[in-house]
């Protein structure tokens, strides 16, 4: 898939990103792909290419651009090695909800100005940390985000988190798909039920499911990657966007 390196001006600096598009002449509906806590790496470039192949212009931003220059994580050991676990958790914690919202405005404006992009409705999708970001975008930009997906997302309904997506349910206008992992401490049953209740009360169009797989199931370089669950996630994502994003 064609891939273009771009730089996006944000309120906090310059964010490096790649724009992945189908082959041929555009334009296409836009999708923002948010990575997990390990950040942008080859695995997410491949995922953005695959999503572009479904007919979308996919923006993959370096969400850690404010830090810059950090050594890439080896996801096979990132959470089993104490030092690396501390490093990845500290990096993820550095990305606040306010930063996510500010960056989101810049990403949406960037996409609106690209010739490769058509249509006003944008999709978001994310994994782990990125799943939470995807839903935060839907709540903060309801007139722009037509569909949002979260796969093994964490802290989606944490009452101690002022930016937790369940608090935004009454602002969401797009369609959501939330796929939880089994036995996931970052999104336990009480949070699942709290989020589902908030979405139902607010009348948000949504589907919520628990996949029979561990946290990290959809990302190929995670040690918990599950091909069956990952394939299911690709089908769900394709169906969500086919029903909601139009050129």
**pLDDT band with cut points at 50, 70 and 90 for residue 130:** very high
Q: Which pLDDT value is given to residue 160?
A: 92
> Percentage of the chain surpassing pLDDT 90?
84
Above 90 in pLDDT, residue 79?
no
> Percentage of the chain surpassing pLDDT 70?
96
* Full residue range of the structural domain in which residue 148 is found: 3-244
Burial grade of 21 (CB within 10 A; 0-12, 13-18, 19 or more)? buried
**Tally of domains within the chain:** 1
pLDDT tens profile 139-149: 999 999 999 99
Query: What is the mean pLDDT of the segment spanning 33-47?
Result: 94
Mean pLDDT of the chain: 94
Q: What is the CATH number of the domain that holds 159?
A: 3.40.50.1820
Report how far residue 34's alpha carbon sits from residue 172's, in angstroms, rounded to the nearest whole number.
18
Query: What is the mean pLDDT of the segment spanning 64-70?
Result: 83
**pLDDT band with cut points at 50, 70 and 90 for residue 76:** low
Predicted TM-score of the model (pTM): 0.95
Query: What is the mean pLDDT of the segment spanning 23-42?
Result: 92
**Is residue 2 helix, strand or coil?**
coil
**pLDDT band with cut points at 50, 70 and 90 for residue 81:** confident
């Amino acid at each position: 898939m064609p891939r273009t390196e771009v730089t996006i001006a944000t309120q906090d600096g310059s964010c490096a990103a790649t724009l992945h598009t189908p082959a041929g002449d555009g334009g296409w509906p836009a999708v923002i792909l948010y990575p997990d806590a390990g950040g942008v790496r080859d695995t997410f470039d491949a995922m953005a290419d695959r999503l572009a192949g479904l007919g979308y212009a996919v923006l993959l931003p370096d969400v850690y651009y404010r830090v810059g220059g950090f050594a890439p994580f080896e996801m096979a050991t990132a959470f089993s090695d104490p030092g690396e676990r501390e490093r990845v958790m500290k990096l993820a914690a550095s990305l606040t909800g306010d930063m996510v919202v500010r960056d989101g405005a810049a990403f949406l404006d960037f996409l609106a100005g690209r010739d490769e992009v058509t249509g006003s409705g944008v999709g978001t999708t994310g994994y782990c940390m990125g799943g939470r970001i995807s839903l935060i975008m839907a709540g903060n930009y309801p007139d722009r985000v037509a569909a949002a997906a979260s796969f093994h997302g964490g802290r989606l309904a944490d009452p101690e988190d002022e930016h937790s997506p369940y608090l935004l349910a009454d602002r969401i206008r797009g369609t959501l798909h939330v796929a939880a992992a089994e036995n996931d401490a970052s999104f336990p049953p009480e949070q699942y039920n709290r989020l589902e209740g908030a979405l139902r009360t607010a009348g948000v169009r949504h589907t919520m499911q628990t996949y029979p797989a561990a946290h990290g199931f959809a990302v190929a370089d995670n040690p918990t990657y599950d091909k069956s669950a990952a394939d299911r996630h690709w089908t769900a994502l394709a169906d969500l966007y086919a029903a909601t994003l139009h050129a």
